[in-house]
Structure 1
Amino acid sequence: MIPTRRTLLAALAAVGTLASLTACGGGSDDGSGSSDASGGTYTFWDPYPQFDASSPWGKLVTDCGTKAGVTVKRTAYDTTDLGNKALLAAQQGNAPDVMLVDNPVVSTLVEAGILNKTSDLGLDTKAIQKNIIGAGTIDDAAYGVPIGANTLALYYNKKVLSAAGVDPASIKDWTSLTAALQKVKAAGKKGITFSAINTEEGSFQFLPWFWGAGGDLKKLDSDKGVAALTLWKQWVDGGLAPKDVLQNTQTTSWQEFATGDYAFGENGTWQLGNAEKAGFDYGVLNIPAKDGGSAPVPTGGEFVTVPVQKDTARYDVSKKIVECLTNDTNLLATDTTLTYIAPTAAVQAKQVAANAKLGPWVDAVAAARGRTSGGLGSKYPTISQPMWTAVQSALSGGKSPQDALATAQSSAEKG
């Protein structure tokens, strides 16, 4: 059953709050989705309004059009606005030729019949890490090429841990992490900060713990899911995490960690620049799974897609533009600009060679998975919202973790 346009718009609005992961600001309403084949003009939409035509990204888009023998008319929107406009443009028959969209949006657009399969376009995706392209894969078919990925890990303050007698290498699982937080608290410092806000950011930050316990998004109230929420509740109730995690965005959570008082901060690749400016030595750890190893973390990042067109002859040029934007040289430049991890091993190696501090992030991305993977597709938003509501309810003391997730599961099933 294909969702109604109203359902699709609601889904896009729900996933669109992750625009902050790529530091997107307000969108622009300039330009339209119409294409002028006779004038050699191809339209391109992206969620990067922070980059104007004179930026390296803006120049790259223009250059890729030039190399394909056409002029590219680029329009930048914020993430939610772009998704909504894509649905409307497709309905009106004037979708852009090429479109860069946030990865959770891909499945929603596919269900609306808007995107072409990469295989039908002849785009080669064999070199891309399977878990990264998985965020844009539906029924074993990829519908775009990832431009890069960002994800979550634990930043740690070396001075705070040293003063508390904690060796970061000793943190292997939830038990050892909680023990480290207790030592830090006993030494007079603060434990861990994260975002548990009642938006997609809260779900994004909860997922590593949920998945790290073996949780399944199709069964929110399993014992494994309850274990993850119980862990967070114990930290907040025990003073190992601040109560304001309930209001923290990923930005305000980072600001807390940047004070230098916290041992750990759960945050993303996009904070590396701020970490360098924080004024204290830091390190990065993969988020541990409950019983050891790296927890799966959610992937952020965008896919370059080719919307369905009435004039299929346009696809050859669109393919050239996509290939240009995603070749190794341009991926390296773009992912450096965006602080993304590249989707291919070859470019990742170049990134680490240029900046060794990206090494832990390459490992984190290798353990990541798409929020819409596993057949969830556009169902993900109907699961995510009840999940973040459950987190809020449990951490505020309104319900037990078990009851909160039971309510969430019931709500998700109705969605």
Structure 2
Amino acid sequence: MTVTRRTLSAVAALSVAVCLTAACSHDDHPGSSSGTAGRAYQIWDPYPQFDDSSAWVTLLRKCGADAGVTVKRTSFDTTDLTNKTLLAAQQGNSPDVLIVDNPVVSTLAEAGVLTSTADTKIDTSAVAPNLLAAGQLDGKTYGIPIGANTLALYYNKRVLAAAKVDPATVKDWASLTAALAKVKAAGRKGITFSAIGTEEGSFQFLPWFWGAGANLTQLDSAQGVAALTLWTDWLKQGYAPNSVLNNTQTTSWQEFASGTFGFAENGTWQLANAKKAGFEYGILPIPAQGGGTAPAPTGGEFVTAPVQSDTGRYATAEKLIGCLTSADNALATDTTLSYVAAAQAVRQQQVAANPDLRVWAEAVQAAKGRTSDNLGTRYPKISEPMWTAFQAALSGSKSPHDALAAAQTTAAAATR
């Protein structure tokens, strides 16, 4: 597999202004592929919150030792990691193993940065197909998910009890809206979520959009309009606050943590905060319009193997990736990263150890990658018009239909 230099040059010129020498040098790559003992292999990850004493870094070292090599780990925040990866590939200094946010996989694959699992012989057979799809493009798979997170509805048991709402009755949009009406009538606030004009907002809109049966290739379908009408009606009725227009997922959580809301749309990453909130909470899957669990978008990273000029390094990279994603290590790894496991067998172990994860396991089982359906790098060109549309509708400047019709025109032109 050959790196597309022209593509990389264009992308890197747009997204990278400065390269730190320490991050971009790859002096540990020897010129020959013969022998691995004692050699250093580079792993880049998006987990700067974990220092060298963490369980995560301990696992990286163990996987290196098991493969007979030394692991050198470099950590970046998510956006910086993508930029550094593109520039490193352009310069021929890619890491051996790259752990990257799943929507970025198709961008890097299209730019020629990543090997496919067929090239490196990475075994993906245990991974749920809906999770693996986030790393697929044009019939090829690029890496393997290390775990997944997604969205569900947290609820405040005290608020719902005061409003005489049984959370077990929330099965579809109609029953959820009826519950919100009761919560408001009882003097509390209904639901908070993030509808900010960024990818965070799109991430939170997608369960309702997909839960109506809409498709990202046709934003202004009747189903898409129904999803946006649901959100706008909630604001009009006072079931959701106007602050959702500016809420990130963090500020939305802070609203819920105040104890005044019945429901909040948020993710697995808030579980630790939920336990500190000072009130009893529960979790429900996000309902589809007609009932059942709506497909929520998958978050989480893929473990990938970037293209190397020395193809002899792939065998050891495969060993490192296999170790990081093995069933033996995945339980501890996903617990550390607050993820639900990508493999069903490991997910069952997680739920057995922590029953609070049952709803999350069900949500992940129904989840969908944002770049799935072979959207790949077209997804960001669709997501931005989509968030522009729901911002316009929620602010009242356009109707849901008109907002999504304009979004469809923009997205269609951008993805031709």
What is the TM-score when the length of structure 1 is the normalising length? Answer: 0.93
Between stretches 31-40 and 43-52, larger displacement belongs to 31-40
Structure-to-structure mapping, 1:112-191, within 5 angstroms: 112-191=111-190
Q: Which position in structure 1 is the counterpart of 2:34? A: none
Structure 1 counterpart SS, 2:23 = coil
CA RMSD of aligned residues (A): 1.9
1:34 aligns with 2:34: no
Structure-to-structure mapping, 1:8-407, within 5 angstroms: 8=11, 30-38=22-30, 40-407=39-406
Q: How far apart are residue 142 of structure 1 and its match?
A: 1.3
User: 1:96 touches 1:307 (CA, 8 Å); kept in 2?
Assistant: yes
User: 1:57 touches 1:334 (CA, 8 Å); kept in 2?
Assistant: yes
Structure 2 counterpart SS, 1:115 = coil
Q: How far apart are residue 337 of structure 1 and its match?
A: 1.0
Q: How far apart are residue 5 of structure 1 and its match?
A: 4.5
Q: Which runs of 5+ in 1 are unaligned?
A: 14-26
What letter matches 1:404 in structure 2?
A: A
Q: Which position in structure 2 is the counterpart of 1:18? A: none
Change (3 A) 1:112 1:220: same
Structure 2 counterpart SS, 1:358 = helix
Structure 2 counterpart SS, 1:72 = strand
Deviations 1:131-182 (A, max 9, x none): 1111101123211011000000000111111111111111111111101100
Q: What CA distance in whole angstroms lies between the structure 1 residues aligned with 2:12 and 2:389?
A: 23
Q: What CA distance in whole angstroms lies between the structure 1 residues aligned with 2:256 and 2:146?
A: 29
Q: What CA distance in whole angstroms lies between the structure 2 residues aligned with 1:159 and 1:64?
A: 46
User: 2:152 touches 2:363 (CA, 8 Å); kept in 1?
Assistant: yes
Q: Which position in structure 2 is the counterpart of 1:21? A: none
Deviations 1:253-299 (A, max 9, x none): 00111111100000000000011111111111100011111110000
User: 2:9 touches 2:90 (CA, 8 Å); kept in 1?
Assistant: no
Q: What CA distance in whole angstroms lies between the structure 2 residues aligned with 1:177 and 1:33?
A: 53
Deviations 1:179-206 (A, max 9, x none): 1100110011110000000110000000
Structure 2 counterpart SS, 1:31 = helix
Q: How far apart are residue 216 of structure 1 and its match?
A: 0.7
Q: How far apart are residue 359 of structure 1 and its match?
A: 0.5
The share of aligned pairs that are identical, in percent, is: 64
Q: How far apart are residue 88 of structure 1 and its match?
A: 1.1
Change (3 A) 1:193 1:12: farther
Deviations 1:15-70 (A, max 9, x none): xxxxxxxxxxxx99743351524461111101011111111111111221111111
User: 1:12 touches 1:105 (CA, 8 Å); kept in 2?
Assistant: no
Q: Which runs of 5+ in 2 are unaligned?
A: 31-37
Q: How far apart are residue 119 of structure 1 and its match?
A: 2.2
Q: What CA distance in whole angstroms lies between the structure 2 residues aligned with 1:28 and 1:280?
A: 46
Structure 2 counterpart SS, 1:127 = coil
User: 2:136 touches 2:374 (CA, 8 Å); kept in 1?
Assistant: no
User: 1:33 touches 1:43 (CA, 8 Å); kept in 2?
Assistant: no
Q: How far apart are residue 339 of structure 1 and its match?
A: 1.1
Q: What CA distance in whole angstroms lies between the structure 2 residues aligned with 1:28 and 1:183?
A: 55
Q: How far apart are residue 414 of structure 1 and its match?
A: 2.1
Change (3 A) 1:94 1:329: same
Q: What CA distance in whole angstroms lies between the structure 2 residues aligned with 1:7 and 1:243?
A: 40
Change (3 A) 1:320 1:55: same
What letter matches 2:335 in structure 1?
A: T
